[in-house]
Amino acid sequence: MSVFGAFPRRRMRRMRSAEFSRRLQRETKLSVDQLILPVFVHGEPNLKESIPSMPGVERLGLNHLLRLMDKVSQHNIPAVALFPVIPMEQKSLDAKESYNPEGLIPKVIRELKKKFPDIGIITDVALDPYTVHGQDGLTNESGYVLNDETIAVLRRQALSHAEAGADIVAPSDMMDGRIAGIRSALDDHNYVNTRILSYAAKYASSFYGPFRDAVGSAKALGSSNKLNYQMDPANSNEALHEVALDIGEGADMVMVKPGLPYLDIVQRIKEKFQVPTLVYQVSGEYAMLKAASATGWIDEKSAVLETLLCMRRAGADAILTYYALQAAEWLNE
Ligand code: PBG
């Protein structure tokens, strides 16, 4: 037989027969160091509003967000990602609220940095919360999302976040060339240490539905889609191409999104580029886990920790997950 010797000399179950030897051969570790909590921020400081499609996640005004940050800090979670809920009257065709230096996100960054200077602040750079049509960019008369015109706005948005003290700006819009545009805007204003986390391989996915409910872009988007800028779920080589471009343009980290159905992409990217590679366990994945747990069809704790561990095994250095706080509690038990 093989050089390893045949049964019964080789019994794979021997090492699995006790926890101590299972521990000794465990290849992948999941820790709090690898968790990032996405949060939905609302402009009304005392608001706390549940999101039906995301049980346990809420739109939070600043005062509630500060309380949540206490827990983030207690559990030693390295970073949070901010997503704004923008009222309809502040949405427009030119998305000008997106780069208002006194807008919601810059204000929240300043408050968080005052009280939690050591927690990393990641901001979403994209226009969808700010456009009346819910697309990630500016559009022409026929509704097509304009690339270069959008980048000009994204540069101002990223800059307004960096000025307010954001540690990491994270473009999630999938315009071509936006990493180069944002990097040069940051460099021109001496924000040389503002990191760029590129949503490099972001797929046009059905798993973003609950997120769009949360930020209120679902209604704006209506029956439109994002197929002409987000990636086709059928493609994998294209993801490597996207990542190569974004690293070349100055991204510090790249991300794959969604998570669980796309772990083959994570593995290929990590193997090929060896750069910090993040995964986003998106709202639809969260909703599925919540729904199946609520009915008792799966055990929430073990199922969630398993999904996160599997993302690590595929090559993810860190994971954005709405379960971050809960997972940290479980890991610290
Ligand atoms: C939009 C954005 C989306 C998500 C993060 N940023 C949705 C979209 O592209 O329509 C989805 C996150 C999630 O589903 O949890 N820039």
Instruction: Please determine, for residue 5, whether its predicted confidence score (pLDDT) is greater than 80.
Output: no
User: Ligand 1 pocket test: which of 127, 133, 172 has the largest number of ligand atoms within 8 Å of its C-beta?
Assistant: 172
Query: Could you tell me what percentage of the chain is helix, strand and coil, using 3-state DSSP and rounding each to the nearest 5?
Result: 45, 20, 40
> What domains can be seen in the chain, in order of their start residue?
30-331 (3.20.20.70)
Interhelix angle for 62-74 vs 104-115, to 10°? 40
What token pair was written down for 232?
């086709």
Euclidean distance between CA atoms 201 and 211, whole angstroms:
18
Q: Is 257 a catalytic residue?
A: yes
Across 26-37, average pLDDT = 98
What values do phi and psi take at 177, rounded to 5?
85, 5
Catalytic residue, chosen from 202, 226, 270, 290, is 202
Q: Are 16 and 22 in contact (CB under 8 A)?
A: yes
Confidence of residue 2 (pLDDT cuts 50, 70, 90): low
86 Cα–ligand 1 center, Å: 15
Give strand pairing partners of 60. 41, 48
Catalytic residue, chosen from 226, 257, 270, 290, is 257
Predicted TM-score (pTM) above 0.75: yes
Instruction: Please determine, for residue 1, whether its predicted confidence score (pLDDT) is greater than 70.
Output: no
- Residue 7's pLDDT is what? 81
**Which residue has a Cα nearest atom 10 of ligand 1?**
208
136 Cα–ligand 1 center, Å: 10
pLDDT in tens, 246-278: 999 999 999 999 999 999 999 999 999 999 999
**Residue 246 beta carbon below 6 angstroms from any ligand 1 atom:** no
pLDDT in tens, 43-69: 999 999 999 999 999 999 999 999 999
pLDDT in tens, 276-310: 999 999 999 999 999 999 999 999 999 999 999 99
User: Ligand 1 pocket test: which of 39, 98, 212, 230 has the largest number of ligand atoms within 8 Å of its C-beta?
Assistant: 212
What token pair was written down for 77?
């979670």
